[in-house]
């Protein structure tokens, strides 16, 4: 039995990862969302797959909600094999341009995209350490690559994900025995990625899961793309 916990699973890439995982008979999935009662797609999967899927509440901007998640997760599984920090926000280009950016926008996005995943990792590391071959995957973006940054704007989102990348390196050093990576899912047709994106959620989730399946401890501290290629920091 392989036990997964994935955040932000009610739509987009997270929902598709859950759907693909549940097709594997040995997978048990804890899927978080902000409002389980109104997460219709997750509830439909729950009706289909029963107790192999548990839907749990998580508001990632709220430390108390993260703490509560750890307690609830421990009621359902003795251990976790894979934690996927997927939930995140982006904001309109206009409010994160050099002229539009404010303290409030920077702090809001950093809180959800960087502080949240770090506290989720902190809260769940005990369960991860009890799992065999544990993996912690922080969903990042190619836009977080400092080396590839040749354009302006998008200050809040790109900084929050570059900080998540740095957090990934710290976690990889602190959590010996857990394989910790940052993973870009590609440019994907979701509410965040928009209709003009390159990949479907199916293609992205397939690639993301292929990368996660193939991880070994030697990959810890790495920054990968959905197609398995490495990204420069
Ligand atoms: N789509 C792309 O092209 C692309 C490219 C690179 C990286 N990514 C990354 O891939 C991941 C998934 O993106 P996506 O495209 O699937 O985005 P999405 O469709 O916008 O979904 C985002 C998910 O995060 C959840 N979320 C947002 N704020 C939250 C909060 N404060 N607490 C808890 N959950 C919260 C959302 O829940 P609600 O429904 O409640 O808002 C939703 O489930 C993100 O980390 C994103 O940065 C996406």
CA–CA distance, 227 with 7 (Å, rounded to integer): 21
With a threshold of 0.85, does the pTM exceed it?
A: yes
Across the strands, what pairs with 56? 32
CATH of 2-225, one of 1.10.287.1080, 3.40.1260.10, 3.30.70.420, 3.40.50.720: 3.40.50.720
Q: What value does the mean pLDDT of the chain take?
A: 98
Per-domain boundaries in the chain: 2-225
Cβ(87) – ligand 1 distance below 6 Å: yes
State whether the beta carbon of 192 lies less than 6 angstroms from ligand 1.
yes
Angle at 76 between CA 72 and CA 77, to 5 degrees: 115
DSSP 81: S
138 lines ligand 1 (CB under 6 A): no
Asked if 183 and 138 touch (Cβ cutoff 8 Å), the reply is: yes
Structure confidence at residue 69 (pLDDT): 98
Q: Evaluate: CB of 139 within 6 angstroms of ligand 1.
A: yes
Residue 209: predicted pLDDT:
99
Q: What pLDDT score does 178 carry?
A: 98
Report pLDDT for 20.
98
Distance (Å) from CA 174 to ligand 1 centroid: 26
Beta strands 222-225; 53-57: pairing state: unpaired
């Amino acid at each position: 039995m392989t036990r997964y916990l994935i955040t932000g699973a009610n739509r987009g890439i997270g929902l598709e990862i859950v759907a693909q995982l549940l097709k594997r008979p040995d997978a048990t999935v804890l899927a978080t969302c902000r409002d389980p009662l109104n997460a219709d797609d997750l509830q439909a999967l729950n009706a289909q797959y029963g107790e192999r899927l548990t839907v749990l509440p998580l508001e990632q901007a709220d430390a108390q909600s993260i703490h509560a998640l750890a307690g609830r997760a421990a009621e359902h599984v003795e251990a976790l094999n894979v934690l996927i920090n997927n939930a995140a926000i982006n904001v309109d280009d206009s409010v994160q341009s050099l002229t539009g950016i404010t303290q409030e926008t920077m702090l809001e996005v950093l809180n959800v995209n960087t502080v949240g995943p770090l506290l989720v990792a902190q809260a769940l590391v005990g369960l991860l350490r009890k799992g065999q071959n544990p993996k912690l995957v922080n969903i990042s973006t190619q836009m977080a690559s400092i080396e590839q940054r040749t354009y302006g704007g998008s200050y809040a989102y790109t900084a929050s994900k570059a900080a998540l990348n740095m957090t990934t390196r710290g976690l990889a050093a602190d959590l010996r025995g857990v394989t910790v990576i940052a993973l870009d899912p590609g440019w994907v047709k979701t509410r965040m990625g928009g209709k003009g994106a390159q990949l479907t959620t199916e293609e992205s989730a397939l690639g993301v899961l292929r990368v996660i399946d193939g991880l070994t401890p030697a990959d810890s501290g790495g920054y990968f793309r959905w197609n398995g290629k490495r990204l420069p920091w």
